[in-house]
Amino acid sequence: MVSLARKNLFHDRLRFVITVAGVAFAVTLVLVQVGLFMGLLDKSTVTIRNAGADLWVTSRNTPNIDFARTFPETAVLRARSVPGVARADNLIVAFMTIQLPSGAAEGALVYALQDFGSWSLPWSVTQGSPADLKRGYAMLMDHSAARRYGPFAVGEQREILGRRFRIVGTTLEAASFTTTPIVFMDYRNAQELQEPLRGNTNYVLVKLAPGADARAVQAELRRRLPYNDVLTREEWARQSRDYWVKSTGLGMSMGVTVFLGILVGIVIVAQTLYTSAVEHIKEFDTVKAIGGSNLAIYRILGEQALIAAVIGFALGAGFSYLARPLMATIHLNVLLSPGFSAVVFVGTVLMCLGAALVSFRRVAGIDPALVFRT
Amino acid sequence: MNEIVLAVRGVTKVFDEGRQRVHVLRGITLDVAAGELVALEGPSGSGKTTLLSIMGCILTPSSGELEVAGRPVRSSHEAARREVRRLSIGFVFQQYNLFPALTALENVEYSLNVRGVGGRPAGDEARRVLARVGLGDRLGFLPRDLSGGQKQRVAIARALAGSPPVLLADEPTANLDTATGAQILDLFQELAKVERRGVLVVTHDPKVRRIADRVVGIRDGLLVDVDGEKAAA
């Protein structure tokens, strides 16, 4: 079968390029913006997902993992007594000030566990060992801290809240939504640094015994710790994500960007397809005169929209995926998943077909008798 | 007697233009037989394009009857008229109306696709009719690379594809030089005589008289003899 749609589309190369560029632009905008957002959100839950805890005990209404609140550390004892709990430990997550060799002071997000060996925090250690954190004032510092603190090396010392800490190792991928670098230290050292932390903790990490019913253990923990929240890993991650999405306006901002991307795509595709349809009216007259129906013409326009959608998506998605490593060099994490890409593809096809509807209206009223007018 | 492939009986056409009713056709009766080439002449505004549109099942008459290839056309049904156009009528236009993005072969093949013929049979038939009009060596040419005469031959091939019994041509030589126009008219005559098509050519070209079996005039919506007198009923 001869595809008049494809032939016409490729015949007018400039218009075709503009159409495809419009679609590709919209796709890139949506993928990169949402990818950046997802990358940010990923950071907001990376420690929750990697810590290895099945349940998290938090103070009541803690909005997200970075904005921790204190409660008595003895809660951990009650947690340990619940049947089905294999292990429970206190975790402190606190913002502290770190003094840099340059004289400047920066913020640091301190993660301090009672027993690092029983958990996956930190989960990616590139130098040293969490076991070394028990040896005096020691800390592991994430590689990403170099951007804020300048270069550092194992064996060097940094001052946190007036106390000198030796860097005994480095980690990878430990990041927070606020971009504040994460350092790991011993639980007691962290408590010593901040008065409000003494005798208090921010979280209790709970690991379930093999075969334990998570919901039952969660219910029992809630009963025994009535002034705390007890959340599964997924619930806690969702709550942390939701905080940034809903409370900060970031979700709305991203929604507006996606809307604008789609709008730009629709306008460009609709405009170019419509102009093309108007310029090919005489051809459509001929199609109808020789026996083609409106449906045949709709198919032509629909096929053109579909081709623009597929090629535009391929280019936009290709560009977005290629841009990922480049953006990573400037520390922007664009998180793209095949599932989300598939959603964007379906959206692109619908967007282009929707844009073609404008042209459908124009060609629906074509009078084939015009073929006899010169 | 030759089979009548196109029959128009008492056809009128009235257009409403604001408060005015314009009677464009006032009762036209005309037959075209298989193997016959009829020339339809008339000045601008005489109603010949309207008559051509009605005979081509594009416009509906206000009254009267139309038969194409022996089948009455139910003029009120667009789908039925489209079906007649698809299967029984080939059109040749003054401006050729080729698809600029399609090659000669594709132009013909596409019209076959519209007529429901696809794949290899469409390709074979398109090659056959293009060879028939002398363009067997121009299959891959785009219309922009063809001369006016060649374009009109492609248009004729497109009209011939699918072997419709009726060919309707609107000023097919108007944009051609004298020699090329003569070749095209000879081709029409050959199609009528050799392939037994009913051919109606709307024209201002006096040379058509040379090859036409019959010349019919139209003035103010009525058929007249070629000297301008009213035709006998």
pLDDT of residue B75: 67
Yes or no, beta carbons of B91 and A371 under 8 Å apart = yes
- pLDDT for A35 beyond 70: yes
Residue-wise pLDDT tens digits, B10-22 = 999 999 888 889 9
Express each pLDDT in A211-252 by its tens digit: 999 999 999 999 999 999 999 999 999 999 999 888 888 888
% of chain B with per-residue pLDDT over 70? 96
**Which value, to the nearest 10 degrees, does the dihedral of the CA atoms of residues B109, B113, B119, B123 take?**
-20
Check A293 against B82: CB less than 8 A apart. Answer: yes
Give A14: exposed, middle or buried? Use CB within 10 Å, 0-12, 13-18, 19+: exposed
- pLDDT over threshold 60, residue B231: no
- Whole-angstrom CA distances from A184 to A80, A91, A240, A245, A353 are 24, 11, 21, 27, 53
Q: Six-digit token pair at A96?
A: 């502290």
The two beta strands, A125-127 and A163-171, are antiparallel
Q: Can you tell me the ipTM of this complex?
A: 0.88
Report the pLDDT value the prediction gives residue B136, as an integer from 0 to 100.
Answer: 92
CA–CA dist A8, A4 (Å, integer) = 6
Provide the residue count of chain A: 374
Q: A29, A37, A14: which is closest to A266 by C-alpha? A: A29
B4-224 architecture in CATH?
3-Layer(aba) Sandwich (3.40)
Most confident of A9-23, A80-94, A274-288: A80-94
CB contacts, 8 Å: A7 with chain B: 99, 101-102, 106
For residue B65, pLDDT over 70 is answered with yes
Using a CB-CB cut-off of 8 Å, the residues of chain A touching B139 are none
Q: Give me the pLDDT at residue B94, please.
A: 87
pLDDT at B233: 36
Contact between B115 and A285 using a beta-carbon 8 Å cutoff:
no
Q: Give tens-digit pLDDT for A71-93.
A: 999 999 999 999 999 999 999 99
Mean pLDDT over A153-179 rounds to 92
Name every residue whose Cβ is closer than 8 Å to that of residue B90 and which is 6 or more positions away in sequence. B158, B159, B160, B161, B162, B164, B166, B167, B168, B197
* A33 vs B169, residue with greater confidence: B169
Interface touch B101/A10, C-beta < 8 Å: yes
CB A183 within 8 A of CB A148: no
Token pair 């394009």: residue: B49
Q: How far is A267 from chain B (nearest CA, A)?
A: 25
The answer to whether residue A339 scores a pLDDT higher than 90 is yes
pLDDT of residue B1: 53
Q: Which residues of B touch A (CB under 8 A)?
A: 49, 52-53, 56, 58-59, 79, 82-83, 85-87, 91, 93-95, 97, 99-102, 106, 109-111, 113-115, 118-119, 122, 158, 170
How much is the mean pLDDT over chain B?
90
Could you tell me whether strands B198-203 and B37-41 are parallel, antiparallel, or unpaired per DSSP bridges?
A: parallel
CA distance A368 to chain B (A): 6
| Residues of A with Cβ-Cβ distance to B52 under 8 angstroms | 372
- Bin A75: left if φ > 0, else alpha if -120 < ψ < 50, else beta: alpha
Please give the radius of gyration of chain B, using alpha carbons only, rounded to the nearest integer. Answer: 17
The minimum CA-CA distance between B112 and chain A, rounded to whole Å, is 9
Domain ranges of chain B: 4-224
> Which residues does residue A85 pair with via DSSP β-bridges, in sequence order?
A208
pLDDT value at position B227? 52
Please list every residue in chain B whose beta carbon sits closer than 8 Å to the beta carbon of residue A374.
94-95
CB atoms under 10 Å from CB of B84, counted, come to 23
Residue A335's SS3 state is coil
Do A373 and B56 make contact, defined as CB atoms within 8 angstroms? no
Query: Is residue B27 a contact partner of residue B10, using CB atoms and an 8 Å limit?
Result: yes
Cross-chain Cβ contact B114/A290 below 8 Å: yes
Looking at residue B196, what is its pLDDT?
92
* Radius of gyration, alpha carbons of chain A: 29
Looking at residue A79, its pLDDT comes to 97
